[in-house]
A and B are shown apart, each in its own frame.
Chain A
Amino acid sequence: MATDNVLSLNTIGLEKQEALLLSCLLTIHADKLSKVWELTGEGVPHAILCDLSSPEGQQAWQEAQGRMQPIPIAYTAEPMPSAQWRLAKPVESSSLIELMQKVTSCVGEQAGAPVSSPVVSRSEEPASTSNAAPSASPIDSSLRDRLTVLAEQHQATESAAAEIKLIFGGSTGAGKSTALRTISDVSPILTEARPSDMVRRMKSETTVAMDYGELTLSNGKKLRLYGTPGQVRFEFMSEILCKGAMGLVLLANNVGANPLHELTYYLRLHGDFIKRTAAVLGITHMDQKSSPTLEEFERYLAREKWNIPVFSVDVRNREQVLSLIETLVVQLEEKGHRKS
């Protein structure tokens, strides 16, 4: 839907981060499109992208100053200390993949650690939800040390050659790929495809094989992070990926049709694995839909006799994702103590 100088995109169902990624993709084609773009959600523009190299972009930028909505995003190669969001123009030598990798890592980090890349930055992040997971320091040597000990114990139990890995599982759209992207020490490997079913209303790409990332442990070994596809028909991948894993970070999408019903499915799918190891449950998108509440999830898990801690989590926030892993580590340590 384009007019002479404004391209409006309907981004219903997209989070702001995803809308921002979309805007970055548009950035690639900046010269072919108009100079001012609006990203709209549910009919209300929530972001406006202003190309400051053009007079109309500058005018839109001036008009947007001081407004909270739509969020003005400056699209410029110049430093913009006053900008809440800034997209740097891609340099000509950047390939699409390079650019998207930078954008992805920045968007993943924007709510947590300082942003190092200049491609996308945001000066301030709004306060996280009140139900947020307990804050933890960024993955420090202590957490890496504890993961290292657990990994060594795991290899002692399984075999020295056993893979040291954690699994991110859970429902479609819960943010498994984003969580993995947020904390991985390396650029993650994603296997995504365009959805051809109802999932397309929720997101533009869906995992069809696995996501892969890494955390480097204190002893230099790699803790491998695998994300499973969320859709039921790919459950065979979950079975493959969970073999020999140390534990499970289960994510539930609270804007799903029936989050507790979905959780029942994933607990059944991963039940044996969880009983052998440990799990932690992160509820995502609670800022968009607060029901079921954390208490309802806790009551449900207690009724089903699962000892799984539950938190609300913003998977774009590195500290919150690391908090989930820290909680999982505690679970695994307790389990190890009980065994010994």
Chain B
Amino acid sequence: MISQSLKTYFFSQLQTLFKNCDVVDAAMVSTLDGRLCAEKQRADYPSERAAVMGSSLMALGDAIARELSLGLCDVIISENEKGLVLFNHINDDFVLICVTSTKSGLGSILSWARVTAEETKKNMPKDASA
């Protein structure tokens, strides 16, 4: 089970992401088995479903990377007609999902999502796991 303190920790990381990256419209942290832990939005995306789908996509990314002997899957970029979605592994248990409707914002969101995932992993409470 995900503790409230861990959810609060994730939320604070998302707040930092929002401060640093002005193109991000929504960000979520979910478990790798698809349960939403924290979210922050400037829009109104269906975050629960995005978390579930994000976990499936991340698991597929992991499977493809494994199949092709490409090591671990770090990030999946979904480039769409009206925006971008990024899926980053935080660690073996958690996924960071970032959404932007600014198509030119790939560089910014890619960079900040990576930083956020790394920082979240680095500062994660020691006993945290999904």
Contact = CB atoms under 8 A, between A and B. Distances in A.
Interface of A: 97, 189-197, 199, 206, 208-210, 229, 231, 233-234, 236-237
Nearest to A236: B53
Contacts, number: 64
The 6 closest A-B pairs by CB, nearest first: A196-B130, A191-B59, A193-B32, A209-B56, A196-B31, A193-B33
Given A193-B34, A193-B55, A229-B56, 12 more contacts: A189-B67, A190-B63, A191-B62, A194-B93, A196-B31, A196-B33, A196-B130, A199-B33, A208-B55, A210-B56, A236-B49, A236-B53
A106 B55 CA distance: 29
Nearest to A196: B130
Q: In this complex, which of B56, B66, B67 has the most chain A Cβ atoms within 10 angstroms of its Cβ?
A: B56
A196 B63 contact: no
Given A209-B63, A236-B49, A195 B33 contact: yes
Contact of B32 (A199, A208, A210, A229): A208
20 contacts: A191-B56, A191-B62, A193-B31, A193-B32, A193-B34, A193-B59, A194-B33, A195-B130, A196-B2, A196-B31, A196-B35, A206-B33, A208-B34, A209-B55, A210-B56, A229-B56, A233-B48, A233-B52, A234-B52, A234-B56
B63 A233 contact: no
Interface of B is mostly: helix
A224 to B, nearest CB: 15
A27 to B, nearest CB: 21
B71 to A, nearest CB: 12
Nearest to B31: A196
Given A190-B63, A194-B32, A197-B1, A209 B57 contact: yes
B115 interface: no
A337 B52 CA distance: 41
Nearest to B35: A196
Contact of B33 (A189, A190, A208, A237): A208
A334 to B, nearest CB: 35
B12 to A, nearest CB: 20
Nearest to A192: B59
Contact of B60 (A191, A231, A234, A236): A191
Contact of A194 (B53, B66, B67, B130): B130
Interface string B14-57: 00000000000000000111110000000000001100110111
A189 B56 contact: no
Contact of A197 (B33, B53, B59): B33
B45 to A, nearest CB: 15
Contacts of A210: 56, 60
A101 to B, nearest CB: 11
A197 B63 contact: no
